Amino acid sequence: MAIRKIIIPPSLPRPRGFSHGVLTTGGSLLFLAGQTGSDADGNIVAGDLVSQYEQVLRNLQAVVEAAGGTMQDIVKITIFIRDRHDYEAHLKQLGVVHRAYFGDYWPATALFEISGFFQEEALVEIEGIAVIDTQA
């Protein structure tokens, strides 16, 4: 049985929108390749950062579920964005989308602003690690 414990050291600020650490035991590791806002044909969905973020999470969910897991099995994500100011301007909307896929669970998270993606129209990409319960 896979067990996950959120780690919040008292010496660090209380996290908002992420977890400092997630301790796991049991289960199988699933390494999630970077997903962009691509549809099934490989085309980036039209729209803004929020629309692409939702497609990214939909793509991650497809991978995790194909492995027998759920979004709450994702213990670590790395978010790459093209424009930090655009991300900050849409934090509330992004939070609503995040909760639609993760509920109130926040994986350990890192966020990086980068100069570009392989697909020029991409605004966000997320990679991650999940721990899938092998006893299910």
Question: Which residue range(s) make up the domain with 80?
Answer: 3-132
Burial 23-53 (b: 16+ CB within 10 A, else e): ebeebeebebebbbbbeeeeebbeeebbbbb
pTM: 0.89
- What is the residue-wise DSSP string for 53-90? HHHHHHHHHHHHHHTT--GGGEEEEEEEES-HHHHHHT
- What's 53's domain CATH number? 3.30.1330.40
pLDDT by residue, tens only, the chain of 136 residues: 878 888 888 888 888 888 888 888 888 999 999 999 999 999 999 889 999 999 999 999 999 999 999 999 999 999 999 999 999 999 999 999 999 999 999 999 999 999 999 999 999 999 999 999 877 5
Quote the number of domains for the chain. Answer: 1
